[in-house]
Amino acid sequence: MAPRHVINASVSPRGSLETLSQREVQQLSEAGAGSIYKLFRQCALAILNTGAHIDNAKTILEAYQSFEVRIHQQDRGVRLELLNAPADAFVDGEMIASTREMLFSALRDIVYTESELDSQRIDLSSSQGITDYVFHLLRNARTLRPGLEPKMVVCWGGHSINTEEYKYTKKVGHELGLRSLDICTGCGPGVMKGPMKGATIAHAKQRIIGGRYLGLTEPGIIAAEAPNPIVNELVILPDIEKRLEAFVRVGHGVIIFPGGAGTAEEFLYLLGILMHPDNKDLPLPVILTGPKSAAPYLHQLHAFVGATLGEVAQTRYEIIIDDPVQVARQMTAGLKAVKQFRRDRNDAFHFNWMLRIEEGFQRPFDPTHANMASLKLSLDLPPHELAANLRRAFSGIVAGNVKDKGIRLIEQHGPYQIRGDAAVMQPLDRLLKSFVEQHRMKLPGGAAYVPCYQVVT
């Protein structure tokens, strides 16, 4: 990727993070070896690249090697000095308002994440402690709003989808917005943008002021998939596991559109949680949907779930093809059940405390070659445990496809090897091959996709 036009600028926050302590400024200024500075620089560069059709973090970082961000604490607050920043983030020298908001949201989340880790109240050694950590991160970002009735719909799906599928996600978002529902996605392009775009028009038609377009991401993803400009609430969680937990804690229902490895990872995470015996009676509407052309994809995913996790897992969701109105009606009905369930049990609307998530779904998975090869993938495992390991396998594929660290590991050591029983590996291989054939692994337009994995029986 050739460097684009760059600009130098100085910006101040608006409504997200007004002040920093001297220690925080010092941490963020250690450009040489400071990991916090490097993390913020990476996230800031991704946000400033909003709108770029690139899904390779390594490519973006290499294209803007001279980009720097300096943090200055003044008597009247924080100021960011940006050197050699992408010029597309500015209009006549002024930073676009949505970009400015997201830039300081990133600073807020990274600073708070680091300070919380030093807090005595944080206990990352237990499942409950991890959930509390996620709660504190979301509360600090002002995402949790007590008193609002359940209406946050999580939309998952691929960043690499065709035009017909993208238009369909906008139609579904429009129908959701007409019913006064809010949208939460992974904040990037494709399916992460379409439902938000549709909902904004519907909210305008219904004269809804304050519609929520919540984007949840993590540093490795945001570097490859810049936030779309519709997002008006951006939260950067420390890792993929806490991001996934944030989705199911703040969301009241889930719609899954066509996607690739990342969508499969999210879907398996969700199924693994819902199949835990403690969550058997907990309502959480889940709908798989897409246009007619995506029917083969939806049926392939459904067949994969049946072959690996069984028929019980297939009962935790429904499939609706080419019917945005029916998707919205079913979701609205499901949210009414969620509202009644939580009201009967005096549970919060803004954070799903009753959902049981085991530590296996919360512990960060480092997709090294050794860890990927040692995953246990067998039908002998309880279904929710197999779902957890399959989720980790897809997480590694996502890393090898788009994340800077994963891409470099593949360049150094070759493709990951994913091993397991034939009863699991064969349907997995069929599903992954279909993703490649349907161009769901990477954004179109670049070189032919070279798999970052090998499926070994």
Q: Which amino acid is at 303?
A: A
> How many residues can be counted in the chain?
457
The rounded Cα 310 to chain-centroid distance in angstroms is 26
Q: Do domains 6-112 and 147-344 have the same CATH topology?
A: no
User: What span, in angstroms and rounded, lies between the C-alpha atoms of 90 and 368?
Assistant: 38
DSSP string, 346-385: T--SSS-TT----GGGTSPP---HHHHHT----TTS-HHH
Pairing of the two strands 77-86 and 68-74? antiparallel
CA distances from 110 to 24, 107, 116, 165, 445 (A): 10, 5, 10, 34, 33
CATH architecture of the region 147-344: 3-Layer(aba) Sandwich (3.40)
Q: Give 6-112's CATH code, choosing from 3.40.640.10, 3.30.1850.10, 3.90.1260.10, 3.30.70.360.
A: 3.30.1850.10
User: What span, in angstroms and rounded, lies between the C-alpha atoms of 292 and 305?
Assistant: 20
Q: Specify the pLDDT at position 121.
A: 74
Ranges of the chain whose pLDDT falls below 70? 1-4, 14-22, 26-27, 29-34, 51-63, 74-77, 118, 442-447
Contact assessment for residue 324 and residue 171, using Cβ atoms and an 8 Å cutoff: yes
DSSP string, 224-288: TSPPPTT-SEEEE-SSHHHHHHHHHHH-SEEEE-S--HHHHHHHHHHHHHHTSGGGTT----EEE
SS3 442: coil
Q: Specify the pLDDT at position 39.
A: 83
Chain segment 271-325, per-residue pLDDT in tens: 999 999 899 899 999 999 999 999 999 999 999 999 999 999 999 999 999 999 9
Residues near 112 by beta carbon (within 8 Å), at least 6 away in sequence: 137, 140, 141
**DSSP bridge pairs for 9:** 82
Q: Where are the domains of the chain?
A: 6-112, 147-344, 370-456
Q: Specify the pLDDT at position 1.
A: 47
Tokens matching residue 270: 């969700």
DSSP string, 187-230: SSSGGGTHHHHHHHHHHHHTT-SS--EEEEE-HHHHTTSPPPTT
Tokens matching residue 228: 């779309």
Contact assessment for residue 1 and residue 59, using Cβ atoms and an 8 Å cutoff: yes
Of residues 433, 399, 434, 432, the one with CA closest to residue 413: 399
**DSSP bridge pairs for 77:** 74
